[in-house]
Amino acid sequence: MLTRILHNSPAVCTFLEQLDLSLSRPQLQHVLNLVDGLLVCDSTKTLAALQRQFVECVDASNMADTLRIAPWRANDLRQPVGAFLLREALAQARAVGKLAYIAVSLDDSISAKHKNTRHLAGVDWHFDHVESTPYRPRFKNGLAYLGCNVWLGGLAFTFDVQPYLREKTVRRLNRQRASDQRIPFLSKLHLARRILTALQPLLPDDVTVYVLHDSWYASARLLKFTHRQNWHTLTALKFNRKLDHQRLDQHSLTLRHQRYAHVRVTATDGTQTSYCTRTLTGRLEDLPFDIRVIDSKRHPRAPRSAYFGCTDLSLEAQPALQLYGHRWGCETDNVYLHTRLGLGDFRMRPYEAVDKWVAVVHLALVYAQWRLLHERSPRLQCVADVIRQHRDEHLCDWLSGACQETLNSGDLNAVLQRFLRLDA
C-alpha cells in the first residue's frame, strides 16, 4: 500500500510550537500525526486510514488511546488555537491599515453519519432546517456542531468549532456516568454565548464589531447579550417576529404602496445581485433598544420578503446587506470540515474522544488558514490550495527519501517493502 508521509511537516511543527500547548511530548506527537494525516489522506479519515499514510508510525490504537483515555481535554487545543490566529490576523490587518470593522459569524451544521449509526456518543437525529420545508420536515443522523467564523480586514478564519448535543442525548449518556462525570446540557444559544464570551476579551475596543447569524439565533436574550458587549447584531428575522407589536409581514402589507429602494450587493465571486428594499425602525418584542429592519425582495412582485434586523441604526440597507454576506465564511468552513478534513469520519464511542476529534479537525483547518494568512500568493488563494501544497511537499519529501535510501542501501526491494508497506 502506498504511503505518503515520511517525516512530519516542518510547517505543522512550527505552527504547533507557536501555540505553546499544555500537552506532553507524546500527546503532542500524536496530535501532530493526526493533523498531518487529516491533511494528506484523501479517503475516509478513520484512524487506521490516517496511520496508513505514514512510512513509520505507531499503531492506530495508540491514536485512539490519545483521544479516548489520554489526560488532556479538547479545550487544551480549542482555546489557544482560535486566540492565536486572531492575534495574527489583527496584527496583519493593522499593519496594512484595513481594520475598519470585525464581523463575527455564527452558524450550525450537521456532519452526517449513516442512518444506522447508533452507538457513537454525540451522533443523533437532528432537524435539518436546510432541507426541510414548512410541510415536510427533514431529519439527519449525525454530529451537530456550532462554528464561529471571524472576518477582519479581508481575512476570514475559524475561531471555534464546538459539538452540540440534544438534551435527550445528554440524558441518555449521563445515565451511564458517575455524578462527577456527567455532561452538562448546553443549548445552541448557550453555546453561541459561550463562544462570544471567550471571544470578547480578545477583540480590540476601538473597532466596531458586528455579530452575524441567521433567524435561528435571533433570540432576544442573545441580542441583549451582544448589545451589552457594545457590539452590533445583523441577523435574519422570521416573518412572524413582531416589530412595535405588529408582525413583520403585516408591516410589509402596510408599506406596499411605498417605493422600493434598489440596492446592489456584490458576492465573494464578484457577481452582483439587485434587491428591492424598504426599511423600518422600531423595537422587537422583549428588546429594550431600537432595531432597524430591512424588508428585502429579489423582485417587487416576489410573493415573499426576506427580513434582516440590524442594531446599528446608522447602517443603510446596501452596506448592511453587503456586510451580511460575510456569513459566507461559515459555509466555506463547513465545506472544508465535512469534505476535506473528515469531521464526521470518527469511529470513537466516548463523548470526550469525539470532542477531542472535533478539536483536532479544527486545528488542521486553522493551520491551513494560518499558512494562507502568511503565504498568500497567486498560487495560494484559498484553503484548498494550501492543502494541495501541503500534500505536494510531503510527496517531494517522500520521493526524495525513497531515492536517497535506495542509493545508500542499494536494495530496491527493501525500500519498496518499507515505503509501500507491502506486508500491510
The domain boundary residue, chosen from 334, 350, 370: 334
> Residue 287 sits in a domain of what CATH number?
3.90.350.10
CA 141, distance to chain mean position in Å, is: 19
C-alpha torsion angle, residues 86, 90, 96, 100 (rounded to 10): 110
89 and 25 share one domain: no
The domain boundary residue, chosen from 287, 316, 334: 334
Contacts of 2 (CB under 8 A, 6+ apart): 420
Q: Quick check: is 322 in a domain?
A: yes
E strand or H helix that includes residue 336: none
58 and 153 share one domain: no
206 and 314 share one domain: yes
What pTM does this model have?
0.94
Range of the domain at 54: 1-30+46-72
Identify the segments of the chain with pLDDT beneath 50: none
Query: In the beta sheet, which residues pair with residue 148?
Result: 106, 160
Q: Quick check: is 394 in a domain?
A: no
Backbone angles phi and psi of 122, in degrees to 5 = 95, -20
pLDDT value at residue 299: 87
Q: Quick check: is 25 in a domain?
A: yes
C-alpha distances in Å from residue 83, one per residue of 27, 195, 310, 338, 352? 21, 12, 27, 23, 22
200 and 53 share one domain: no
**85-125 pLDDT, tens per residue?**
999 999 988 888 888 899 999 999 999 999 998 889 889 99
Q: How many domains does the chain have?
A: 2
Q: Quick check: is 207 in a domain?
A: yes
| Burial (CB count within 10 angstroms: exposed 0-12, middle 13-18, buried 19+), residue 55 | middle
The domain boundary residue, chosen from 334, 356, 384: 334
388 dihedral zone (left: phi>0; alpha: psi -120 to 50; beta): alpha
Q: Quick check: is 383 in a domain?
A: no
Q: Quick check: is 365 in a domain?
A: no
Maximum separation of any 2 CA atoms in the chain, in Å: 86
6 and 142 share one domain: no
11 and 127 share one domain: no
133 and 188 share one domain: yes
**33-70 pLDDT, tens per residue?**
999 999 999 989 999 999 999 998 878 888 899 999 99
169 and 218 share one domain: yes
Secondary structure (3-state) at 161: strand
